[in-house]
Structure 1
Amino acid sequence: MTFSLARSGHDATNLLHSLIYFVPETEQELTGVGLRAGRMCYFAGRAAPMGAVSGGVVAATFYNFNPSLVARCVPAAWELASPDVVVGARFAAADAALTRLLGPDVIGSADMIELAAILREAVGACSPEGRPLYAGHADLAWPDAPHLVMWHAASLLREHRGDGHLWALASAGLSGIEALVTHCATGKGFTPELARATRGWSQDQWDSAVSGLAPRGLLDSQGELTPAGRELRAQIEDQTDLLAAPPWQYLGEQRTEEVVRIGKAMTRAVLKAGAFPRTATASRDDAAASTARA
């Protein structure tokens, strides 16, 4: 199996997980159990499977957020709602959102049952070693409904890949903000303005990171990636694909292609139903990038 097919499996299912960060059901459910609206819902909702961890743990596992931004939300979130309660609310949000976006016919379809079964089997080939965010989610009990099995499995595969991506970034010698700066410079995700706004970095902090990357030969005087910078980013993506490959290698080409077929169709459906905002500051591409951890 080629790593491009493994990436296709990820691309076909990632937005089915990532919609949880954009649908209104998430904030409704999480504020309903006591969390404050906004970033607290994101940080606590995603980190809750690891337990009542500190802000430092969240910043480390989410990688490219300003730790001071995280510290405004965690650990205060756990005083408002326990991690177990937050996990339950997040599953309730996924249930409501997928039901609204896909409708009862797709929710109960043979394709949904098949996709859930294949993805759950793929998760069995994932290893938790060195992957703390994945491991926290992997310790959760599996839901019963096929569409929630599908969503949980897609979430696990996404976090497994994300944790591996952090290995690649750390091996490349990039800090959280440096990873974000170089990711923006590829032109394939965030704009710098959106990255700073959503990740909590100031203009001075951003400029300092840019200044530090230039002497390393990764950025030119205009803040664009140099050939060496482009090569480094390509190496990071290749290593990420390599580290994320085991579940897709386990499935093999035929079943991975079936995941791609069904996953793409369901992704088109949730996009058509408006799962992601289409504004100047939050687009479909931003949705994909928002969980990439740069």
Structure 2
Amino acid sequence: MTDRPRAARRLWQLLEPVHAVTYFSPEPLAALTAAGYRGFWMGYFAGRAAPLGPVGPDVVLPLFHNFAPAHVARALPDAWSFAPPEHALSARLEGSVAALRRILGPAADDPGLRRAADLAYDAACSAPTAGRALFTANLALPVPAEPLPRLWHAATLLREHRGDGHVKVLVDEGVDGRTAHVLHALTTGIPAEVYAAARRLGPAEWASILDDLATRGLVAGGLLTDAGRALKTRVEDRTDELAATAYAAVPDAEIDELTQLLRPLTRAVVAAGDIPAKSPMGLDLQGLAD
């Protein structure tokens, strides 16, 4: 029998780049600007939060979990005065699909992509919704009829399902979102500068988090202790276990088939270079490219 948590991690690694073009590729960024949103971050928060409706920071902060309050408050709810959530939804879908079509070329119309879209969407539809607000909000959206939009939609569903579970695990372990960034950076070697740019996590806050982790026995001399590494392992393992519930009813053969179908698509997305090699998503893009 397929190891479901391990399969869930591998499928996240393959699906996340498909979803992530919405944050980095020029087509969705231009579409969000054309919809009326001002600047990258207003477009980001509007696009990702739009399935929830015209919400503000009080809803987005706990669900996204890892942003600075002032960062979110600069974009929401102000974004909805420029364009309503339904415009953000259209922009992010149409722009993301345009990016994938450019990147994939003829493969965008391949029967294998249609099959991958169907398998991924079926898995998402079988996933539990309890306690997964972002996933459930996205699941309530209309299902695209065409294969390429449906693949992007399915990738979005499964990554938000995993993300909701990840937030639950962090909360259970007493790790706030900002601390989670530092733990991940110390584990993977992602530079602090990446988080300063992408999450407004500057040197003073970084140092304060390190001090707190040291007090908890999780960091010593700026490095993770055995206890810190054990905590990070528990978080990742439990996240995989919760993500695996999306694939509990999927036959082993279909999990293997979806994995094989996604590999060339994901490699093409990574090779296009739109997604930065180092980002808070924490993916090993080089490993995916290889």
Q: Deviations over 1:129-170 (max 9, x none)?
A: 111111111110001110111110011000000000001100
TM-score, structure 1 length as denominator? 0.92
3-state secondary structure, aligned to 1:214: helix
Which residue among 76, 79, 85 is the counterpart of 1:77?
79
Instruction: Tell me what 1:169 maps to.
Output: 170
The residue aligned with 1:286 is: 279
Matches within 5 A, 1:234-273: 234-273=233-272
- In structure 1, the partner of 2:226 is 227
- Structure 1 stretches of 4+ moved >6 Å: none
One-letter amino acid of the counterpart of residue 219, structure 1: V
1:41 to 31, 40, 43: 43
| 2:141 paired residue number | 140
**Paired residues of 1:9 and 1:248 also in contact (CA < 8 A):** no
Structure 1: unaligned runs, 5 residues or longer = 277-281
Residue of structure 1 equivalent to 2:288: none
Name 2:19's counterpart in structure 1.
17
Report the Cα distance in structure 2 between the residues aligned to 1:56 and 1:200, rounded to whole angstroms. Answer: 18
RMSD of the alignment, in Å?
Answer: 1.4
Q: Is 1:185 aligned with 2:179?
A: no
Match of 1:208 in 2: 208
Partner Cα separation in structure 1 for residue 34 and residue 170 of structure 2: 36
Q: 1:57: how far off?
A: 1.5
Q: CA deviation at 1:287?
A: 7.0
CA deviation vs aligned residue, 1:33-63 (integer Å, no higher than 9, x gap): 1001211111111111111111122121111
Instruction: Say which SS state the counterpart of residue 149 (structure 2) adopts.
Output: helix
- SS of 1:106's partner is helix
Q: Identity across aligned pairs (percent)?
A: 37
Give the deviation of 1:6 after TM superposition: 2.2
The size of the alignment, in residue pairs, is 281
Where 2:50 maps in the other structure, the secondary structure is helix
Partner AA of 2:57 in structure 1: G
Preserved contact between residue 210 and residue 219 of structure 1 (Cα < 8 Å)? yes
Contact 2:184–2:282 (Cα < 8 Å) also in 1: no
Partners of 1:178 and 1:246 in 2: how far apart? 26
In structure 1, C-alpha distance between the alignment counterparts of 2:195 and 2:130, rounded to whole Å? 30
Distance 1:253 1:102, change over 3 A: same
Match of 1:217 in 2: 217
Counterpart of 1:198? 198
Q: Which residue of 2 aligns with 1:156?
A: 157
SS of residue in 1 equivalent to 2:249: helix
Q: Which residue does 2:286 correspond to in 1? A: none
Opposite residue 121 of structure 2, the aligned amino acid is: R
Residue equivalent to 1:62: 64
**Distance in 2 of aligned mates of 1:54 and 1:146:** 33
Distance in 2 (CA, whole Å) between partners of 1:287 and 1:202 is: 14
Which residue number corresponds to residue 279 of structure 1?
A: none
Residue segments in structure 2 that go unaligned for 5+ positions in a row: 284-290
Q: TM-score, normalised by structure 2?
A: 0.93
Change (3 A) 1:211 1:288: closer
Distance 1:34 1:162 in 2: 28
CA-CA distance at 1:204 after TM superposition: 1.6
After superposition, the C-alpha distances for 1:50-91 in whole angstroms (9 at most, x for unaligned) are 111111221211111111111111111011110011101111
